[in-house]
């Protein structure tokens, strides 16, 4: 591919992120448990309530229209060959989709809370369940699978060491949409280790997320504890497998960095490959979300609906997404809005983890950006 074609491909792959993020955000209310509507606990039998279904449809329509408008602007900028505009639309657009989606969620959450009070839906008692035979329930794969990262790291290091002598004295490090190199660095031994450091940082983040899944509270429905535990276990297992596959795919793609330093591939070609990998990862993540739902909600959806609310912890969910419960020893638990996990912000250990993660991230960025 020539530089012009590479630029068009990169812009096209980049703008695709906007509708993908928009569709995922638009579908979020349909991926949650039947007993939750815009982060408010409701009876499962109310999932088909016309008023609540109408709120979900309005949320879906607004998010799809907003995402489509941003995508149309991005496509127009591609046609006009304005790379900086495309990048701005992707950054501002994806952030805007998340902000608008969250704002709409809060708006509809207030409506659902008011409707819930009007209908008199409340838990007479807080019921909890334990699943008998828990060892038979599917769970996330072991952290030992993370050892698969080791050969990828060794190959990356080996490519850098073997190709060091063939590298030019000045190495291109950053390229723009137009294919022009915007940053160069002098050849040094650190260039061999930089791709490995990037891989190690990503692996640390992914292994922490994997550990998060393993340590998370395993929620179950008091109406059907065994079936809901099975659904959650299958969801956690699928997410952990996907997390490992995602990490391996990205780390393998990073091997293109030392190959670009040697000159076997261009930075632009490497960027195209990495973006294609990321695109497949995003699509795969959406597919898993649609198939399983949050916490396995879609696997559990065919169960009979209950007329009662047996457990209601709405008071512990601040602004719908922040969980504060000093009486809950869990550090991690499934998120209330969105697919994945969140923190119990009432636990001091979580704040220590967050501060440690921030320090590690800042240190990593400073080391990488100060190079050269």
Q: Given this model, what pLDDT does residue 13 score?
A: 76
In a domain, 360, yes or no: yes
Q: Given this model, what pLDDT does residue 148 score?
A: 96
> SS3 of 197, please?
helix
Residues 211, 352, single domain; the answer is yes
Q: Given this model, what pLDDT does residue 6 score?
A: 61
Residues 228, 270, single domain; the answer is yes
Q: What total number of domains does the chain contain?
A: 2
Residues 255, 312, single domain; the answer is yes
Residues 271, 196, single domain; the answer is yes
Distance CA 312, CA 315 (A): 8
Residues 99, 216, single domain; the answer is no
Q: Given this model, what pLDDT does residue 161 score?
A: 93
Residues with Cβ within 8 Å of residue 230, at least 6 apart in sequence: 137, 138, 296, 299
Residues 80, 211, single domain; the answer is no
Residues 149, 59, single domain; the answer is no
In a domain, 201, yes or no: yes
Nearest to 24 by CA among 292, 300, 289: 289
Angstrom CA distances, 247 to 48, 80, 202, stand at 39, 35, 8
Residues 105, 171, single domain; the answer is no
Quote the pTM value.
Answer: 0.82
Single out the residue in 54, 89, 120 at which a domain terminates.
Answer: 120
Q: Given this model, what pLDDT does residue 132 score?
A: 45
Residues 212, 111, single domain; the answer is no
- Domain hosting 142: range is 138-372
Average pLDDT per run of 10 along the chain, which is 372 residues long? 61 85 92 88 86 96 96 90 85 92 95 92 57 64 95 94 88 69 80 91 93 85 73 90 94 90 81 83 88 83 53 82 89 88 92 92 82 58
Single out the residue in 54, 86, 120 at which a domain terminates.
Answer: 120
């Amino acid at each position: 591919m020539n530089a012009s074609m590479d630029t068009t491909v990169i812009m096209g792959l980049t703008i695709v992120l906007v509708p993908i993020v928009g569709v995922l955000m638009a579908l979020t209310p349909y991926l949650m448990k039947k007993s939750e509507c815009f982060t408010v606990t409701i009876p499962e039998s109310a999932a088909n309530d016309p008023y609540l279904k109408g709120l979900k449809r309005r949320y879906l329509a607004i998010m799809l229209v907003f995402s489509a408008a941003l995508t149309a602007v991005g496509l127009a900028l591609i046609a006009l060959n304005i790379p900086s505009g495309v990048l701005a639309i992707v950054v501002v657009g994806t952030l805007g989709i998340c902000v608008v989606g969250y704002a709409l969620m809060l708006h509809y959450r207030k409506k659902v809370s008011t409707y819930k009070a009007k209908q008199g839906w409340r838990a007479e008692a807080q019921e909890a369940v334990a699943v008998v035979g828990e060892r038979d329930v599917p769970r996330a794969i072991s952290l030992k699978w993370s050892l698969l990262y080791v050969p990828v790291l060794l190959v990356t290091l080996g490519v850098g060491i073997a190709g060091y002598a063939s590298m030019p004295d000045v190495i291109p490090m950053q390229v723009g949409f137009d294919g022009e190199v915007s940053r160069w660095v002098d050849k040094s031994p650190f260039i061999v280790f930089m791709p490995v450091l990037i891989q190690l940082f990503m692996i640390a983040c992914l292994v922490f997320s994997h550990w998060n899944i393993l340590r998370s509270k395993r929620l179950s429905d008091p109406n059907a504890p065994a079936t809901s535990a099975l659904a959650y276990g299958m969801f956690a297992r699928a997410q952990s497998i996907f997390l490992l596959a995602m990490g391996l795919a990205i780390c393998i793609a990073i091997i293109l960095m030392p190959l670009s330093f040697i000159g076997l591939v261009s930075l632009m070609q490497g960027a195209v490959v990495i973006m294609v990998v990321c695109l497949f990862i995003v699509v795969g993540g959406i597919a898993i979300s649609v198939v399983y739902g949050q916490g396995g909600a879609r696997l559990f959806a065919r169960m009979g609906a209950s007329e009662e609310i047996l457990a209601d912890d709405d008071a512990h969910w601040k602004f719908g997404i922040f969980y504060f419960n000093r009486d809950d020893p869990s550090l991690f638990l499934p998120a209330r809005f969105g697919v994945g996990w969140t923190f119990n912000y009432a636990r001091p250990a979580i704040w220590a983890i967050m501060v440690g993660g921030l320090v590690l991230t800042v240190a990593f960025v400073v080391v990488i950006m100060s190079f050269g």
